[in-house]
Chains A and B, each alone.
Chain A
């Protein structure tokens, strides 16, 4: 075994060797998300910037698609990371999993190149099969959809077969059932119809039931494992919390789907159902905060991996504020009539995706680099420990800055464009030209630069943290009897 502090894949089990490949691509795509987000942000302030070369639509599509894919890569990596540890047995069909990684990565590269170089096609079905489906978040052309389904099936096989071969823990059981739903729901977005109401109805089955239901449960599983690993929290406690979270997340989130059915042609009863259930959606997120903070306090913040713990605590709060509070603020139809499709949504989207999902993936990447370097010390008093602290600070300050700036522009837009102007062309541009809007967009850009700086620091830290560290990790293992 290599010396402590050097990256050596001999330190990892089979699933973890595959996991770090997924994490590497995930962080690279995170960088792409930041880059294209910055370009799109600049275009709000200077519309001639890259006009006709990389138009806003292309940058924005790459910004949100890079996000979906890097988070998926991060989740898949995180599951491979914990799989052998959790099931107590090597990953079943690991070779297939490795093949899937390369196929998936190659497909992503091809899709991105087509987005950048071809951009748009003629108004025919073949454009949807080969270039771009033109449907927010799931723009990937149909051939890639089919590829994604095949990849997810292989991933599902790895996970389910491994747990069946080894032991089926509570986390394992929830994870497997959640992946069935996650894979199945993707199929709802894979067909063409001229009817846009029908299109958006099923499209939300993918987007909402992923992001506001199955992804949240997946994150619940990851958080449960992470708390056990970093602080030695008792398994019975995290698994009981996990079941509470599943009950509350699905209990509010499944019918909370109705808050996307207010204005797309779907029946009026969704105003009541969607409003009511989506208003309950923050409750499980409160439970997750209580759970994480209580456990951290109970263990006096003594963890084996301080950066990972910090990012998990950030996840609990980010999820609650970003998805919970920011979602709740405009989820009731009486308010949503004026905020739907304005920068309110962008404000909510930024804080929610970052707070709920980016954070937990980053936490797992910190767990990974620790073990990759031979399970080195990552608690207090690290050499170069300022880097992870400044990275987490800059990323959060930048994100909160963007969220607040977009919220101001969203308020202004709801008022000037929606409430007063009635959403006509003229009203839209009146709101976009308003001094409050322009100021908000400037502050968003400043915050964006801060976020981008934080990202660079994060990437640098992930590559160097624990390097030449000679102390082994702090032990947090709880007595075997307490694990029951």
Chain B
């Protein structure tokens, strides 16, 4: 029995060439886009803040034009009351990131939505209303990280184990979380309710003695 002649679009040689060209073409486009993406997501680039952003208030506010929430860098509000330069901030955030890796956070939590689904997403956890007030937030977070097991979590009995996080690691982790909350994530997570970070309204007596009030 003789082979019938194969149509060109069903032939082996046509699809072999297609496989090579399509793969090569896609790879070239990907590499081209990768250069631009890496440029934009370098710390201090268009999408990812410099590490020293932890010296400022960070908020997550609805943007009319983009139609979702975007990070907004506010006035100076240094973490643990200490202003850091870029190198110091990077070292602190890096220590925090290493802590999240060494403690395997990602196999319960999600970070930027990636990880496991046994515990809340940490992308904007710095801004979570669960931390109470912005005045006590930093210390509450540190205390929680260092000894979470007996603290309030939820009504279903799921708890975070004690991972032996030192105070230094806990502070660094908080720095990492604060920095991460300033990444432009295209509105993920959507509709996130943020902790109240507004400055308290000035009390009436504080404005009564203008001569003693230092200029802002």
Contacts and interface: CB of A to CB of B under 8 A. Distances in A.
Given A44-B118, A60-B108, A133-B101, A194 B188 contact: no
Most chain A C-beta atoms within 10 Å of own C-beta, residue among B36, B101, B118: B101
B102 A124 contact: yes
A139 B104 CA distance: 9
A250 to B, nearest CB: 4
Interface stretch (B74-82, B153-161, B203-211): B153-161
A200 B104 contact: no
A333 B114 CA distance: 15
Contacts of B96: 123
Nearest to A339: B113
Interface string B6-22: 00001110011011001
A265 B41 contact: yes
A265 B185 contact: yes
B137 interface: no
Nearest to A484: B3
Given A56-B118, A134-B106, A201 B112 contact: no
A127 interface: yes
Interface string A244-258: 101100110011010
A243 interface: yes
A58 B163 CA distance: 12
Contacts of A343: 117
Interface string A178-205: 0000000000000010111111110000
A433 B155 contact: yes
B43 A195 contact: yes
Contacts of B48: 195, 197-198, 265
B186 interface: yes
Contacts of B154: 429, 432-433
B5 to A, nearest CB: 13
B120 A425 contact: yes
Given A337-B190, A422-B189, A247 B105 contact: no
Interface residues of B, number: 90
A433 B101 contact: no
Contacts of B158: 47, 429, 432
A113 interface: no
A427 B194 CA distance: 12
A380 interface: no
A229 B30 CA distance: 37
Contact of A423 (B114, B124, B172): B124
Contacts of A262: 186, 188
A236 B124 CA distance: 54
B90 A194 contact: yes
A346 interface: yes
B22 A266 contact: no
B130 A47 contact: no
A136 B100 CA distance: 12
Interface of A: 40, 43-44, 47-48, 51-52, 55-58, 60-61, 119-125, 127-128, 131-136, 139, 170, 174, 192, 194-201, 236, 239-240, 243-244, 246-247, 250-251, 254-255, 257, 261-271, 273, 333, 337-338, 340-343, 345-346, 413, 418-429, 432-433
- The 10 tightest CB contacts between A and B, nearest first, are A123-B99, A134-B101, A263-B188, A423-B189, A194-B94, A243-B15, A341-B113, A127-B102, A429-B154, A422-B191
Given A52-B162, A57-B104, A133-B101, 8 more contacts: A120-B163, A134-B102, A194-B97, A244-B19, A247-B22, A265-B185, A341-B110, A433-B155
